[in-house]
């Protein structure tokens, strides 16, 4: 992984993913390690994403690194009409690694081709968000003790949710059984389903949520966004069909855990928060360890 | 149906290329991608012609024109069944089928308006894939698939 960019979760083999997760576990035990020792990491957020940016910057500072960059395109030279290529080439002069978030699909791959330092994709439009995927995998492994042979249920917007797409594709390497719960309008795209079929894995699609809860090791919740529906009436029909409340977890497995990439709106009732099976806030913390691991591995420090 | 009869339907050319066995519904797309509207040479075309192999087919004859690899790649992507026939002095000198390339660069556009290739000055790059028998272009950058009907060429 040394000096290699991470643009898409498919860039890493199963072994490389497992290696990152092992290093992340070391950081969880000892988060403050002065490995970067004053090295400079650029954090280029061409669109705002407070959660992801703070997670990366926290990871960098816990390792003794310095951050340069910007948190929205409005405060960068993009506003003056500079091309992405020029911005990246310039920033390469000032940093050892670039973390980049950009609203355009494929921008991270392009940046990795022009850059002289490695790029970590922190989200490129609707395309990829591989560090979210790694932290999801870390959370699953940590709560289940393994990534192999699990039954994973995805709920909500499976059509547009890029975290869902990346995680489904990554889990295809671990003999997962998939339960896919969504309104008909927001089913998992066939391009993603193709990965499940090619891996010869089992999947089932549901429009009703409650029946799959007892079969799930992991329930991965997502937000259904109003703007995804051309007809507001259609949204009104489904918006309350995929809400998880505490009583629904009565028949869930002992080892079952609830994940959510956050931010949550109303799809998980707050009465679930105090249930030991709720894991979404710890999941966000795991993101810091995974990002520390990734930065350390790419810079050859671990 | 014999060959003489066919030549009556679409005139013979003395020198140039005949593109035969184009799927009937792809004829106009092939004309478009080869930019034949702007050609100043003789161009003949016909579609919904009877074909023993394919039922209905389209055909194009272009005078004084021989195709380069990047042009035959384009033809292969939208009309993979096409046959190219080179004519010199009314004689067939070469007959070849088109090969579907594994990768195409620069010739096609990504259909995703939010793809970096449509936003910045980035040459396109695709892997050619087959999904349920249909040819699609998988974008190297945005990872979206452009289907045959959405293919637009530079």
**Nearest residue in B to A123, CA atom:** B142
Which whole number is the average pLDDT over B62-85?
93
| DSSP class per residue in chain B | --HHHHHHHS---SSEEEEEEEEGGGHHHHHHHTTGGG--S-EEEEEEEEETTTEEEEEEEEET----HHHHHHHHHH-TT-EEEEEETTEEEEEEE----SEEESSEE-S-TTBHHHHSS---EEEEEEETTEEEEEETTT-PEEEGGG-EE-
Q: Does B112 touch chain A (CB under 8 A)?
A: yes
- Identify the pLDDT of residue B15: 95
DSSP summary character for residue B152? E
Domain A31-128 has what CATH class? alpha beta
- Identify the pLDDT of residue A232: 86
* pLDDT higher than 90, residue B42: yes
Domain B103-153 has what CATH class? mainly beta
* pLDDT higher than 80, residue B5: no
DSSP summary character for residue A118? -
Asked if residues A28 and A289 have their Cβ atoms less than 8 Å apart, the reply is yes
User: Prior bond to A263 cis, omega within 30?
Assistant: yes
How far away is chain A from the Cα of B101, in angstroms, using its nearest Cα?
21
β-sheet bridge partners, residue B152: B109
- Identify the pLDDT of residue B9: 55
Average pLDDT, chain B: 90
A31-128 shares its CATH topology with A131-284 = yes
Taking an 8 Å Cβ-Cβ cutoff, which residues of chain A contact chain B?
8, 83-85, 103-107, 109-110, 125-128, 190-191, 194
- Identify the pLDDT of residue B85: 95
Distance CA A67, CA A97 (A): 10
Asked if residues A100 and A120 have their Cβ atoms less than 8 Å apart, the reply is yes
Confidence of residue B10 (pLDDT cuts 50, 70, 90): low
* pLDDT higher than 70, residue B7: no
β-sheet bridge partners, residue B97: B83
CATH of domain B3-97: 3.30.70.140
- Identify the pLDDT of residue B70: 85
- Identify the pLDDT of residue B3: 52
Are the beta carbons of A106 and B121 separated by less than 8 Å? no
Please name the member of B131, B139, B145 whose beta carbon is closest to the beta carbon of A106. B139
Which whole number is the average pLDDT over B23-43?
92
Q: Which candidate in B142, B146, B147 is best for mutational testing of the A interface (most A CBs within 10 A)?
A: B142
- Identify the pLDDT of residue A161: 84
CATH of domain A131-284: 3.40.50.1370
Domain residue extents for chain B: 3-97, 103-153
- Residue the block writes with tokens 């960068």: A76
Q: What is the pLDDT of residues A31-80, one digit of tens each?
A: 999 999 999 999 999 999 999 999 999 999 999 999 999 999 887 778 78
pTM over 0.90: no
Residues of chain A with pLDDT under 70: none
In angstroms, the first-to-last Cα distance of chain B is: 38
Domain residue extents for chain A: 31-128, 131-284
């Amino acid at each position: 992984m040394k000096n290699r960019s991470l643009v898409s979760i498919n860039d890493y083999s199963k072994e490389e993913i497992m290696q990152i997760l092992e290093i992340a576990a070391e950081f969880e035990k000892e988060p403050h390690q002065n490995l970067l020792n004053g090295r400079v990491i650029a954090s280029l957020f061409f669109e705002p994403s407070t959660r992801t940016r703070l997670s990366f910057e926290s990871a960098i500072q816990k390792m003794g690194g310095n951050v340069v960059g910007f948190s929205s395109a409005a405060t960068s030279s993009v506003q003056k009409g500079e091309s992405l290529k020029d911005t990246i080439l310039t920033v390469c002069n000032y940093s050892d690694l670039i973390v980049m978030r950009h609203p355009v699909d494929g921008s991270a791959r392009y940046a990795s081709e022009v850059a002289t330092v490695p790029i970590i994709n922190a989200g490129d439009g609707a395309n990829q968000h591989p560090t979210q995927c790694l932290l999801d995998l870390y959370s699953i492994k940590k709560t289940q003790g393994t990534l192999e042979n699990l039954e994973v249920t995805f709920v909500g917007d499976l059509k547009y949710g890029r975290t869902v797409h990346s995680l489904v594709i990554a889990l295809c390497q671990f003999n997962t059984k998939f339960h896919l719960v969504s309104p008909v309008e927001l089913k998992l795209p066939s391009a993603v389903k193709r990965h499940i079929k090619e891996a010869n894995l089992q999947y089932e699609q549901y429009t009703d949520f409650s029946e799959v809860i007892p079969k799930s090791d992991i329930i991965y919740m997502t937000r259904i966004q109003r703007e995804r529906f051309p007809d507001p009436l259609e949204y009104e029909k489904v918006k309350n069909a995929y809400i998880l409340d505490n009583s629904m977890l009565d028949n869930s497995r002992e080892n079952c855990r609830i994940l959510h990439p956050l931010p949550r709106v109303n799809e998980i009732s707050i009465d679930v928060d105090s249930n030991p099976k709720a894991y979404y806030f710890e999941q966000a913390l795991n993101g810091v360890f995974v990002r520390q691991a990734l930065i350390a591995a790419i810079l050859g420090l671990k | 149906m014999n060959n003489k009869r066919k030549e009556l339907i679409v005139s013979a050319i003395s020198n140039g290329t005949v593109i035969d066995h184009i799927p009937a519904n792809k004829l106009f797309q092939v004309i478009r991608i080869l930019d034949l509207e702007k050609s100043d040479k003789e161009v003949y075309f016909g579609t919904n012609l009877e074909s023993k192999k394919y039922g209905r087919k389209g055909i194009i004859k272009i005078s004084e024109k021989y195709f380069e690899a990047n042009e035959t790649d384009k033809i292969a992507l939208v009309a993979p069944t096409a046959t190219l026939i080179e004519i010199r002095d009314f004689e067939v000198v070469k007959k070849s089928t088109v090969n579907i390339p594994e990768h195409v660069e620069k010739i096609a556009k990504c259909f995703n308006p939010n793809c970096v290739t449509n936003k910045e000055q980035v040459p396109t790059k695709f892997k050619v894939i087959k999904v349920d028998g249909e040819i699609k272009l998988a974008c190297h950058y945005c990872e979206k698939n452009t289907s045959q009907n959405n293919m637009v060429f530079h």
